[in-house]
Amino acid sequence: MATTEERRVEARPIEGREPTVDPAAWAELLRRVEALEQAQRAGIQKRNKLTIIAWGGELDRIWPTTILASTAAASGMEVSVFFTFWGLFAIVRPDVRITGRHWMQKMMSAMNPGSPARAKLSRYQFAGAGPAMLKHLAATHHVERPEALLDLAKEMGARLIPCQMTMDLLGLERDDLIDGLEEPIGAATAIREMREAAISLFI
């Protein structure tokens, strides 16, 4: 097969003759352009979008989750928050207490009271004194509570999506969760959401 260098020499006009193109080089060029076009069609188009996998339901996780979601929505970005595992308890209605049918599910819901208002801290819990102190500090510094930020994010178009599998696992029904959520989805849909997002986070 001819090298690139040789082809370039052949394509150069020779004295007294019209420039000629090597048909093999031409075919190779066309093949490469087609391959590039195909790769571009199959390529991933990133969108101005933030996806958060809200895994943690603790106050010091759900707070940054809601701050980033509301800020991105306020900046005109598309926002999807996918609630899974302990993150699901952050979108349980505040008036719902024990959820699930199996005693293990009931036990887990007893240990993870719903809504960010009752969320625990991952450290310095101090039997509830930790979250109370953090909320006091936040109020002094005029930082919005996560439950308010969640409402703001939703109001500004952020999509809040529960994970179907973990809902089933933890025994959470659609009626146990707050209003205004998207339909529950699975892992593949979450991956698709992340693949197209310019930013994806796991909190």
Partner 1 sequence: MAVIARTVDARGQACPGPLVMLARALGEAAPGDLLELLATDPGSRSDVPSWAELSGNELVEVDTSTDGVFRYVVRKA
Q: How many residues in the chain?
A: 203
* Residue-wise burial string across 24-42, b where 16 or more C-beta atoms lie within 10 A, e elsewhere: ebeeeeeeeeeeeeeeeee
Closest distance of CB 144 from partner 1, Å: 6
Closest distance of CB 74 from partner 1, Å: 4
Closest distance of CB 98 from partner 1, Å: 34
Closest distance of CB 14 from partner 1, Å: 55
Binding characters for partner 1, 118-157, by CB under 8 A (x = yes): -----------------------xxxx----x--x---x-
Q: Is 200 in the site for partner 1 (CB under 8 A)?
A: no
DSSP 3-state of 161: strand
Question: Applying CB under 8 A, which of residues 2, 6, 26, 75 lies at the interface with partner 1?
Answer: 75
**Whole-number CA gyration radius for the chain:** 27
DSSP 3-state of 2: coil
Question: Applying CB under 8 A, which of residues 25, 74, 96, 134 lies at the interface with partner 1?
Answer: 74
Phi/psi for 45 (5° steps) reads -95, 110
Phi/psi for 153 (5° steps) reads -60, -45
**For binding to partner 1 (CB under 8 A), which residues are involved?**
67, 70-77, 141-144, 149, 152, 156
